[in-house]
Structure formats: C-alpha cells, structure tokens
C-alpha cells in the first residue's frame, strides 16, 4: 500500500498512522494553517485517550500559537462535548485530536469552525489551499498569545443541553440497570458521571479508565462487544451502551444482550424526536429505508446526503431538519443540542423512551419494520473506481441511480451503495432488502464487479 494512502485528508479533517505518516511536524503545520485560516483569537483544543494524543497535542498547540491564536485546552473529552464548547464560548474554531473509530495506531485532527461544526466543502477547500501553499501567518513575538485551560465546564455545558430534551425525573425514578463499555476512551469519566450521577441509573461499567489502552476494537460493532454482553448477563442490565474512543458513535444492546443494528438505533431516536416535533429528517445514503418508514408514520419527509457527518449536517441545515444522522455508523445528530454525532443524546433518548412507555428495548425495536442489511469493504486499484461504477450501473439498467457519493442503485426489492471510504483506502459496500436472500444477491452482484 502506498504511503499516500496512509495519510487521508477528507470530509472531517486529516488522519493517518502515527510515525511515518501523521507526524508532529505535519500536525504542527496543519494546525498553523488552521490558525491562519480562522484568524487570531481563541481556538479550543481537546483529545481522546490514544497514546499519541499528548504528542500531537503539543505539536498542534505550537502550530496554533505560531499563527497568533490563543489556545484553550479542555483535556480529554468526547468530540461532541468539544463541539458544544466551541459553539457556546464563541471561539474562532476548535480541534479534536482523535481518530474516532480507527485502530489505536491512527490519530487525526478533526477541525471545527466557530459554530462547532465540521468545515463545509468551501471552508475545506480554502484551508487546504492555504496548507498546500504554506502561506501561514507567522505571529511576531508581541503577538504570541496564551495557553489557557478549562477542564471543568465543557462537560457541564454539554450535559445541560442534553437534559433540556428528556424527562430527567422520569428517568431517575426508574433507576434503570445500565451496562456501559466506554472502550477506555474520551467518554470514560463523563459517561459514568452522566449515567450514574445525572440520570440516576444503577450503572455497571467496564473499560472506563482513560489511562489504559483500548481493550477491544475501537468501533463498537456486535462482534467486538462480547464483554458488554457478558456484563449484561451478570448484572441483569435492562440496556447496554457502548461507545467509540471519541464518544460520538453509540451501540445499544437490549435486555437480552443482543446488539441492535445501528440503523435501528437511529430509527428509534428519529421516532422519539418526530413524536414530539415533526419535521424533516436527513440521513446519509447508506442509512436504512427503515428511517423512511418511521418518518412516514409521522408524515415527515426524509432527505439523503453523501456519507460523512459534515455532509449530513450541511444538508440538515439546508432542510431545517429536526433530526438526522448516519445509521450506518451509529451516529445520531440532534440539532437541539448540537449539529454533531452525539452518543449522550442517544443514550438519553433511549432511557427517556423506556421511562415514558414502560417498554423494554427489545419491545421498542420490535415496532420497527424489518429489513436485512449486509455491509463490507474491499480494496481496489487506483484508476479502477470509474470502470467499477460503470459496470455496476450497467448491470442494474433501469434502476434508480444516485451518483452523489459513489454509486447507489435502488431497485423495488432493495438497494446497493458502493463508495470510496472517507477514512481508509478502501471501497465500502452496503446492501439492503426486505429478505435475507435478496440482500445476499444484491451484495454478491457488487462483489462480482470488484
């Protein structure tokens, strides 16, 4: 694999493998470009718990100071918490040092504008031009600003926004038995505080030590959550939650320890919001059609966007959506708190739904229409992407085609979506249908072209 493939500049920022690819020098230069772009003023800086985090934090701090920015360090915090803090404190922008769901040898800079949002396509293009031209602002001695710290208020600000949208007293009265796997990530301490102290749950938690390495695969997928299932059986937990290292993605387990499909998690959150505040919904192209069914129950439209939080948020703002997200990766985006993927709002929605209805998680999920999904990935050679997409389109002549993000083919029986990954040098393949046999047929037809 080429060296270029190990460093990715994409929809959310810059990421790569620590060492020969994402280096302190590169992080410093990119941060200086960022500081030059947002201008002199406060920039918020936080990180997750990766071993390389402190090293990259020092490099980013140097780059921001060199551009004349005042750096506000907020420490180890979930990405959505950092985004809320940027928005509430009217900073020039923010950087979260985290590779999210990627393995521990990766790290990344997630970049936020003054609203605490990922850069849109125009902002990204301008920033990258500035970076590649190396036309950075060089602050003179008298312009060098301070490094400030605020390790306390960011968590309170985020939690306060979440609590405005659920019945806290009803949740506390139930004292739900909750199991948590925080993967020793950025949400470890905040999640324990949120569930136990704020929402009054009887909490049973594993992997909540931010000093320790990730004990499982970073992405909270069913096959990596065996420890959470075991914990739920031992404690008779009524619901289980698992996060990724930066706390924006959420996996949910029912009372039997069965991990819900990510699309079902988003669909339940959508139903919670639309039952109180009907309005448009925006999801990415890979998200299940179950969202369309749930929205139809409430008479609400659904709009699709290319994969990537920034793309979904941009479309949500344009359509004035009341909720959105990426079911394909466990991301719930609720603008009532912040335009970002937020596992804390997701946890609160589920506990609120259980408290208000008296239903168990399996009963809530059983109310959703049934779809079958298949997801995978494959490597591909440069220069082959165009012919692959052309062959797929020809195979399904007469189907509805969407080319806004790779290729999505929609037939009456289901759909296939093939696209280049935003974070890895791979093709991502997704298929969905109303029967297991049909989804397998659709999925295998895509693989044959690869």
* Distance between CA atoms of residues 430 and 405, nearest Å: 13
Q: How many CB atoms lie within 10 A of CB 58?
A: 13
DSSP 45: E
Same domain flag for 225 and 139: no
Tokens of 352: 């609120």
Q: CB–CB of 426/379 below 8 Å? A: yes
Same domain flag for 320 and 352: yes
Q: CB–CB of 439/414 below 8 Å? A: yes
Same domain flag for 66 and 92: yes
Same domain flag for 220 and 360: yes
Which residue in 100, 191, 288, 328 is the catalytic one? 100
* Distance between CA atoms of residues 209 and 298, nearest Å: 42
What is the pLDDT at residue 424?
66
Give the mean pLDDT of 225-242.
Answer: 98
Q: Which helix (H) or strand (E) holds 125?
A: helix 121-133
Same domain flag for 318 and 356: yes
Which band of pLDDT confidence, cut at 50, 70 and 90, is reported for residue 3? very low
Instruction: Calculate the CA dihedral of residues 18, 19, 24, 26 and round it to 10 degrees.
Output: -90
Give the mean pLDDT of 165-192.
Answer: 98
What is the pLDDT at residue 4?
45
Same domain flag for 353 and 385: no
Is 10's pLDDT higher than 70? no
For residue 402, what are the β-bridge partners?
408
Same domain flag for 125 and 219: no
Same domain flag for 177 and 323: yes
DSSP string, 295-332: HHHTT--EEEE-SSHHHHHHHHHHHT-SEEEEGGGTEE
What is the pLDDT at residue 68?
97
Domain end marker among 310, 332, 366: 366
Tokens of 368: 């959703």
Q: What percent of the chain has pLDDT over 90?
A: 80
Domain end marker among 151, 184, 219: 151
* Distance between CA atoms of residues 430 and 419, nearest Å: 9
For residue 70, what are the β-bridge partners?
42
Give the mean pLDDT of 346-360.
Answer: 98
Same domain flag for 302 and 378: no
Residue 432's CATH number: 3.30.310.50
Is 57's pLDDT higher than 70? yes
What is the pLDDT at residue 391?
83
Is 179's pLDDT higher than 60? yes
* Distance between CA atoms of residues 138 and 256, nearest Å: 58
What is the pLDDT at residue 143?
95
Q: Using alpha carbons only, give the angle 374, 376, 381 rounded to the nearest 5 degrees.
A: 145
Q: How many CB atoms lie within 10 A of CB 289?
A: 20
193, 258, 413 from 436: Cα distances, Å: 41, 19, 11
* Distance between CA atoms of residues 388 and 367, nearest Å: 38
- Structural domain including 198 reads 157-366
- Rounded-to-5 percentages of helix, strand, coil across the chain: 40, 25, 35
Clarify whether 191 is annotated catalytic: no
* Distance between CA atoms of residues 208 and 214, nearest Å: 10
What is the pLDDT at residue 423?
61
Give the mean pLDDT of 156-163.
Answer: 98
Same domain flag for 256 and 355: yes
DSSP string, 373-386: EEEEEE---TT-HH
Handedness of CA 33, 37, 40, 43 (dihedral sign): negative
pLDDT in tens, 42-55: 999 999 999 999 99
* Distance between CA atoms of residues 345 and 365, nearest Å: 18
DSSP 3: G
pLDDT in tens, 315-343: 999 999 999 999 877 799 999 999 999 99
Q: Which of 6-10, 14-18, 67-71, 175-179 bottoms out in mean pLDDT, i.e. has the lowest?
A: 6-10
What is the pLDDT at residue 1?
42
Same domain flag for 227 and 96: no
When divided into structural domains, the chain yields a total of 3
Backbone dihedral region for residue 183 (phi beyond 0: left; psi -120 to 50: alpha; all else: beta): left
Q: Which helix (H) or strand (E) holds 36?
A: helix 24-38
Which band of pLDDT confidence, cut at 50, 70 and 90, is reported for residue 422? low
Same domain flag for 22 and 126: yes
* Distance between CA atoms of residues 151 and 192, nearest Å: 17
């Amino acid at each position: 694999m080429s060296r270029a493939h190990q460093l990715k500049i994409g929809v959310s920022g810059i990421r790569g493998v620590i060492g020969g690819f994402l280096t302190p020098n590169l992080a410093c230069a990119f941060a200086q470009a960022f500081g030059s772009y947002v201008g002199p003023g406060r920039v918020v800086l936080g990180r997750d718990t990766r071993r390389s985090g402190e090293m990259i934090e020092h490099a980013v701090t140097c780059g921001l100071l060199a551009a004349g920015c005042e750096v506000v360090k907020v420490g180890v915090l979930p990405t959505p918490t950092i985004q809320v803090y940027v928005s509430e404190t009217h900073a020039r922008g923010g950087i979260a040092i985290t590779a999210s769901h990627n393995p521990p040898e990766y790290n990344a800079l997630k970049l936020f504008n003054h609203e605490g949002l990922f850069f849109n396509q125009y902002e990204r293009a301008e920033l990258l031009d500035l970076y590649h031209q190396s036309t950075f602002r060089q602050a003179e001695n008298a312009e060098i600003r301070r490094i400030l710290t605020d390790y306390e208020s960011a968590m309170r600000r985020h939690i306060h926004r979440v609590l405005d949208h659920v019945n806290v007293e009803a949740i506390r009265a139930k004292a739900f038995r909750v199991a948590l796997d925080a993967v020793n990530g950025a949400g470890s301490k905040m999640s324990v505080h949120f569930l136990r102290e704020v929402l009054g749950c009887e909490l049973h938690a594993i992997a909540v030590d931010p000093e320790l390495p990730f004990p499982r695969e970073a992405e909270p997928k069913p096959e990596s959550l065996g420890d959470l299932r075991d914990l739920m059986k031992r404690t008779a937990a009524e619901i289980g939650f698992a996060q990724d290292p930066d706390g924006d993605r959420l996996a949910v387990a029912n009372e039997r320890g069965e991990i819900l499909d990510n699309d079902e998690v988003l669909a339940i959150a959508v139903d919670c919001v639309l039952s109180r505040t009907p309005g448009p919904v925006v999801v990415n192209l890979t998200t299940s059609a179950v969202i369309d069914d749930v929205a139809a129950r409430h008479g609400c439209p659904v709009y699709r966007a290319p994969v990537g939080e920034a793309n979904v948020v941009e479309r949500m703002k344009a359509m004035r959506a009341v909720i959105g997200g990426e079911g394909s990766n466990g991301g719930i985006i609720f603008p009532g708190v912040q335009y970002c993927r937020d596992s804390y709002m997701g946890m609160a929605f589920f506990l609120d739904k259980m408290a208000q209805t008296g239903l168990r998680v399996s009963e809530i999920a059983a109310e959703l229409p049934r779809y079958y999904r298949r997801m995978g990935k494959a490597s591909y050679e440069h220069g082959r992407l165009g012919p692959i997409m052309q062959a797929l389109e020809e195979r399904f002549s007469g189907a509805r085609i969407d080319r806004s993000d790779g290729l999505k083919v929609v037939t009456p029986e289901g759909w296939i979506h093939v696209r280049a990954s935003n974070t890895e040098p791979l093709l991502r393949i997704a298929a969905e249908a109303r029967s297991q046999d049909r989804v397998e047929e659709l999925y295998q037809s895509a693989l044959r072209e690869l």
